């Protein structure tokens, strides 16, 4: 599993990430209580969360959650509906015209399955979503996944594997295939 390891938990890199998580949580907490019509306030907080202004035509409806923010790359005309979560430490890229339904979750980091390593390492990989993709409500996109152009991820789907272009994916992924 060494290729999957992202960082050792007891390290300076992890400490820096943990500090950013606290900062991003503070900023998103402030964002999520602003009046909906406070466009200037939202724009200012998004710039601080992402480290740059929102691209042209990007719409994000709060509540919005991210654990890092600085590694969330949004192209033009992205739409993100309410109550979405982006755990973006390993990087998330959303191509132009991507639409994301409410309560969708993008997770780029996790822990090893091995109980002896679980509290020692973070694992993961970046998520890449190509242009014109639609992610349905409540979908979960897991670490290291790429989703091809023009694809659709159905509501509630758990995406653990790459999705080819112009493909519809549905359903949960959970399967018991190993016991301790």
Q: Annotated catalytic sites, by residue?
A: 111
The DSSP output letter for 61 is P
**123: left (phi > 0), else alpha (psi -120 to 50), else beta?**
beta
Q: Could you give phi then psi for residue 99, rounded to 5 degrees?
A: -120, 135
Q: Write out the DSSP string of 12-27.
A: HHHHHHHHHHHHHHHH
Contacts of residue 166, Cβ cutoff 8 Å, sequence gap at least 6: 148, 149, 150, 151
Cβ atoms of residues 175 and 160 within 8 Å = no
């Amino acid at each position: 599993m060494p290729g999957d390891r992202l960082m050792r938990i007891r390290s300076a890199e992890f400490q820096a990430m943990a500090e950013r998580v606290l900062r991003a949580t503070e900023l998103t907490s402030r964002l999520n209580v602003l009046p909906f019509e406070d466009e200037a306030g939202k724009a200012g907080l998004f710039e601080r969360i992402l480290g740059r202004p929102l691209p042209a035509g990007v719409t994000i409806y709060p509540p919005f959650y991210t654990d890092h923010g600085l590694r969330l790359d949004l192209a033009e005309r992205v739409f993100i509906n309410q109550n979405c979560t982006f755990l973006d430490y390993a990087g998330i890229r959303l191509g132009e015209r991507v639409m994301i339904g409410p309560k969708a979750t993008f997770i780029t980091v996790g822990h090893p399955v091995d109980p002896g390593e679980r509290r020692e390492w973070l694992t993961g990989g970046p998520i890449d979503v190509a242009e014109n993709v639609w992610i349905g409500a409540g979908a979960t996109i897991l670490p290291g996944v790429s989703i091809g152009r023009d694809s659709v991820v159905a509501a509630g789907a758990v995406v653990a594997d790459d999705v080819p272009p112009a493909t519809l994916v549905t359903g949960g992924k959970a399967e018991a295939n190993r016991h301790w």
